[in-house]
């Protein structure tokens, strides 16, 4: 069953049936102000930090889905009938009204045709501004004049989400509203200076600032009393629940169109008036939208491909890049799953996100890398989840609030946790991310820049990297394998004083990457030490972790190996077997068998399972994974994030057919016609897909903000298509299905526009890597024939 299609020329996903099984969301905003919006215009807006600077309210996991939102209602004044431009919240009969949602790159358009009126509402956040534009057009497609009213509506939130959800003593009495000159101002009175506004470029005939006056008691957003009656009540109040509701009447002659713009933003009445004046010239609205499109076009141009796999083209040319960029901007903190309580940066997630889109967003990746360098302790471990502002000397530290009920800015020292709360993998991801940043940008001078450590002192970037590797070298258990600590990449495998195969493989990878960097950056004298470190890791891994047919996952504190042939549950694990190969540690038969085990035990039609068979009995020596239902999340679901690791592993071994089969199984675009099973958006990777041990096998959950986005993009572009930046040039090293005749790509690398043409006349899966120096790239055209 399908609900929509990809419009590749517009780079949009078009939903033509709005009754999709779950909310299909999009992200507006490319800087710090953002909105998460569903295909039914439900969602919320925030600026900077969605935990402490929420603008509009959202009732997560609610019934009905995604309420409230950023809604526009239309009322036919001849008979009192009314509807919303998005299908919800009014929810007209779909046999009488037709709706379309177009999710594009940082904008969404809702369209509706009902009773001869065509209406559209385009939402976007202009670059460089802290406001959201609602660009509304109404057209009379009928033959008679129409007398209509138009209403824009949003519900304001108290700015601190915890208070908004739990402490009505504060939220309801410390915020208020006023109206003047066509602007509604919502005052978060408790936080002096924090205001939000809702305004329009037309002069409103009616307004409401109090939610319950607009909606009406025992009414909902589906039938607000203000729209039902056709008149608003000019409500304002100091205290109570605030909203923005503005209305106007209009007459549309047959064939006539009219345009109306609403603006929702950060700032007080004056700020609202300024934006109202600015956007009253619709050419400024168009200009702002064009700027947004140019911003995205520049990103999209960094890599465009044309391959025999059209779904791969759709994902890599647009959607996968878009999702990865969204992750590097909004991290994990704003979605319909994370609704404001989990802000700050997760160390490992951020390090991985920043590795994957350096080509399209070097400045944001650099910013994230610096934040992580400052979140590293002097002993070499990263703070698992931290607020980067706390460690940024350029961010002014606010004075403690007078009220004891508002969280003051934490003292940096209170955020530095000890070893007990350290995840063993966190900082290891940063080393290859920095290497990748330098390979893409060529900026070796970055290594000499100095940054503070979270617990005091400072060092160069290179020194930070050394400390990370030394930390893991020290933190090993009896067998010489890295300790599991609180968790490794898998939050739910909690080996504590036991040992993690995954972390030792990551340590090997990071050390190997670092050695490559030392060689290029004039630090050859340090190579010997790290080469010894690498050899020691390899020796321990091969001695302790090979099980005969695959690599084990770890060793518990009491010395029990997990992920062995003798295990009935959790026999084979994806993380250790993919990373044995990705890291370059495993070779020959062990490498091949590890990938074969992934294929034999973990692969399924919806992707690769994280482990199998899933656990059915709680076992705290292994961890929380054993307390999750079978086939869900880390317990034997198809956890998307590590899937691309298996693509990299297969590609490294030259198994192009297998890499593509793995790729295709998880590819969202390929599931566009199977929504009755997948349920979630077919244009983003989801955190996980229910595994075969669950009755809902194939159902995808938690879209958008997941490490799978970056990794899918990185693995497919760098290892399947094999287009990899190197310190002094570009490597072309594809590993593709034997049936492919080749492919083409346009890549921007260090300011050069390069056209790459790969041919595969001998129908092999992998040839010899070809290196092009910067001089060779000057020509702009690269022809690579795959050969052994």
Annotated active-site positions, please?
Answer: 491
Backbone φ, ψ for residue 258 (5° rounding): -135, 145
Backbone φ, ψ for residue 778 (5° rounding): -55, -35
Report, in Å, the least distance between residue 664 CB and ligand GLC.
23
Binding mask 490-519 for ligand GLC (x = CB under 6 A): xxx---------------------------
Rounded to an integer, what distance in angstroms lies between the CA atom of residue 212 and that of residue 229? 14
- Residue of the chain from 71, 87, 489, 550 that contacts ligand GLC (CB under 6 A): 489
Q: Does 346 bind ligand GLC (CB under 6 A)?
A: yes
Rounded to an integer, what distance in angstroms lies between the CA atom of residue 157 and that of residue 308? 48
Report, in Å, the least distance between residue 493 CB and ligand GLC.
8
Token match 């129908």: residue? 763
Q: Does 614 bind ligand GLC (CB under 6 A)?
A: no
Taking the least distance from each CB to ligand GLC, the nearer of 86 and 490 is: 490
Q: Does 710 bind ligand GLC (CB under 6 A)?
A: no
Q: Does 330 bind ligand GLC (CB under 6 A)?
A: no
Rounded to an integer, what distance in angstroms lies between the CA atom of residue 668 and that of residue 658? 18
Q: Does 421 bind ligand GLC (CB under 6 A)?
A: no
The residues facing 607 across adjacent strands are 604
Report, in Å, the least distance between residue 122 CB and ligand GLC.
32
Residue numbers 639-658 binding ligand GLC by CB under 6 A: 641
Residue numbers 59-118 binding ligand GLC by CB under 6 A: none
Q: Does 733 bind ligand GLC (CB under 6 A)?
A: no
DSSP secondary structure of 638-702: EETTTHHHHHHHHHHTT-HHHHHHHHHHH-GGGGTT-HHHH-S-TTS-EEEE--TTSTTTT-EEE
Q: How many residues does the chain have?
A: 788
Taking the least distance from each CB to ligand GLC, the nearer of 136 and 423 is: 423
Taking the least distance from each CB to ligand GLC, the nearer of 267 and 707 is: 707
Give the chain's radius of gyration (CA, Å): 27
- Residue of the chain from 349, 440, 499, 575 that contacts ligand GLC (CB under 6 A): 349
How far from 511 is each of 370, 472, 532, CA to CA, in Å?
Answer: 20, 10, 10
Q: Does 636 bind ligand GLC (CB under 6 A)?
A: no
Taking the least distance from each CB to ligand GLC, the nearer of 136 and 468 is: 468
Q: What is the largest CA-CA distance in the chain?
A: 84
Rounded to an integer, what distance in angstroms lies between the CA atom of residue 686 and that of residue 699? 10
Helix (H, G, I), strand (E, B) or coil at 348: helix
**CB under 6 A: which stretch of 65-73, 485-493, 497-505, 762-770 binds ligand GLC?**
485-493
Q: Does 573 bind ligand GLC (CB under 6 A)?
A: no
Binding mask 674-693 for ligand GLC (x = CB under 6 A): -------------x------
Q: Are 57 and 65 in contact (CB under 8 A)?
A: no
Query: With contacts defined by CB under 6 A, how many residues of the chain interact with ligand GLC?
Result: 13
Rounded to an integer, what distance in angstroms lies between the CA atom of residue 306 and that of residue 313? 6
Q: Does 607 bind ligand GLC (CB under 6 A)?
A: no
Q: Does 335 bind ligand GLC (CB under 6 A)?
A: no
Q: Does 634 bind ligand GLC (CB under 6 A)?
A: yes
> 121, 110, 111, 58: which is closest to 262 by C-alpha?
121
Helix (H, G, I), strand (E, B) or coil at 492: coil
Taking the least distance from each CB to ligand GLC, the nearer of 12 and 349 is: 349
Taking the least distance from each CB to ligand GLC, the nearer of 500 and 706 is: 706
- Residue of the chain from 53, 348, 573, 701 that contacts ligand GLC (CB under 6 A): 348
Taking the least distance from each CB to ligand GLC, the nearer of 381 and 489 is: 489
Taking the least distance from each CB to ligand GLC, the nearer of 106 and 324 is: 324
Residue 253 burial class via C-beta count within 10 angstroms: exposed 0-12, middle 13-18, buried 19 and up: exposed
Backbone φ, ψ for residue 369 (5° rounding): -60, -40
Rounded to an integer, what distance in angstroms lies between the CA atom of residue 249 and that of residue 74? 10
Rounded to an integer, what distance in angstroms lies between the CA atom of residue 474 and that of residue 479? 13
Residues that bind ligand GLC (CB under 6 A): 332, 346, 348-349, 489-492, 634, 641, 687, 706-707
């Amino acid at each position: 069953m399908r609900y929509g299609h990809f419009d590749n020329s517009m780079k949009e996903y078009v939903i033509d049936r709005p009754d999709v099984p779950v909310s299909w969301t999009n992200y507006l905003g490319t800087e710090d102000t953002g909105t998460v919006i569903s295909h039914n215009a439900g969602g919320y807006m925030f600026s900077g930090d969605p935990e402490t600077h929420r603008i509009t309210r959202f009732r997560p996991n609610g019934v009905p889905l995604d309420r409230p939102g950023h809604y526009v209602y239309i009322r036919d004044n001849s008979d009192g009938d009314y509807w919303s431009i998005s299908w919800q919240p009014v929810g007209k009969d779909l046999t009488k009204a037709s709706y379309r949602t177009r999710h594009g790159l940082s904008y969404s358009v809702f369209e509706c045709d009902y009773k001869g009126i065509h209406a559209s509402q385009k939402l976007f956040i202009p670059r460089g501004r802290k406001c959201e534009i609602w660009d509304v057009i109404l057209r009379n497609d009928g033959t008679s004049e129409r007398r209509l009213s138009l209403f824009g509506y949003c519900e304001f939130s108290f700015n601190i989400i915890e208070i908004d959800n739990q402490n009505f003593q504060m939220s309801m009495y410390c915020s208020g509203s006023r109206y003047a000159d066509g602007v509604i101002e919502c005052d978060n009175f408790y936080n002096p200076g924090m205001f939000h506004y809702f305004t329009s470029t037309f002069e409103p005939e009616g307004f409401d600032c109090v939610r319950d006056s607009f909606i009406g008691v025992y009414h909902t957003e589906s039938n607000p009393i203000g729209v039902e009656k056709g008149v608003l009540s000019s409500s304002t109040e100091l205290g109570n629940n605030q909203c923005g509701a503005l209305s106007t009447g209009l007459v549309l002659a047959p064939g006539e169109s009219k345009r109306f713009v609403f603006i929702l933003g950060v700032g007080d009445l004056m700020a609202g008036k300024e934006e109202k004046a600015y956007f009253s010239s619709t050419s400024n609205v168009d200009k702002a939208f064009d700027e947004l499109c140019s911003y995205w076009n520049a990103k999209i141009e960094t890599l465009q491909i044309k391959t025999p796999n059209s779904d791969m083209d759709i994902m890599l040319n647009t959607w996968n890049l878009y999702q990865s960029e969204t992750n590097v901007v909004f991290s994990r903190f704003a979605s319909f799953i994370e609704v404001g309580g989990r802000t700050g940066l997760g160390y490992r997630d951020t390090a991985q996100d920043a590795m994957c889109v350096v080509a399209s967003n070097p400045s944001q990746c650099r910013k994230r890398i610096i934040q992580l360098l400052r979140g590293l302790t002097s002993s070499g471990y990263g703070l698992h989840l931290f607020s980067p502002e706390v460690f940024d000397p350029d961010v002014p530290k606010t004075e403690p609030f007078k009220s004891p009920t508002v969280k003051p800015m934490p003292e940096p020292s209170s955020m530095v946790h000890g070893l007990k709360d350290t995840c063993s993998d966190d900082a290891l991801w940063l080393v290859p991310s920095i290497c990748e940043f330098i390979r893409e940008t060529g900026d070796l001078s970055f290594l000499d820049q100095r940054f503070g450590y979270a617990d005091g002192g400072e060092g160069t970037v290179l020194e930070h990297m050394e400390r990370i590797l030394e930390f893991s070298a020290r933190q090993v258990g009896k067998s010489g394998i890295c300790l599991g600590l609180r968790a490794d990449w898998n939050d739910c495998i909690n080996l504590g004083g036991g040992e993690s195969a995954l972390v030792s493989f990551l340590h090997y990878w990071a050390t190997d990457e670092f050695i490559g960097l030392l060689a290029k950056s004039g630090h050859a004298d340090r190579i010997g030490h790290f080469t010894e470190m690498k050899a020691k890791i390899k020796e321990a891994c091969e001695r302790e972790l090979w099980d005969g047919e695959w690599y084990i996952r770890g060793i518990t504190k009491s010395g029990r190996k997990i992920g062995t042939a003798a295990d009935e549950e959790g026999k084979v694990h994806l993380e250790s077997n993919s990373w044995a190969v990705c890291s370059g540690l495993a070779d020959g038969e062990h490498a091949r068998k590890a990938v074969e085990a992934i294929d034999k035990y973990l692969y399924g039609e919806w992707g690769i399972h994280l482990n199998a068979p899933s656990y059915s009995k709680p076992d705290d020596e292994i961890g929380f994974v054993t307390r999750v239902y079978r086939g869900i999340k880390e317990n034997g679901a198809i956890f998307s994030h590590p899937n691309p690791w298996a693509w990299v592993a297969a590609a490294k071994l030259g198994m192009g057919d297998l890499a593509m089969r793995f790729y295709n199984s998880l590819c969202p675009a390929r599931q566009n016609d199977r929504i009755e099973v997948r349920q979630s958006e077919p244009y983003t990777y989801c955190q996980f897909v229910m595994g075969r041990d669950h009755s809902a096998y194939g159902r995808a959950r938690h879209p958008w903000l997941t490490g799978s986005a970056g990794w899918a993009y990185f693995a497919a572009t760098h290892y399947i298509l094999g287009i990899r930046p190197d310190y002094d040039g570009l490597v072309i090293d594809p590993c593709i299905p034997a049936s492919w005749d080749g492919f083409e790509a346009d890549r921007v690398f260090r300011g050069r526009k390069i056209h790459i043409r790969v041919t595969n006349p001998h129908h092999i899966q992998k040839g010899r890597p070809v290196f092009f120096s910067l001089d060779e790239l000057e020509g702009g055209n690269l022809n690579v024939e795959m050969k052994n």
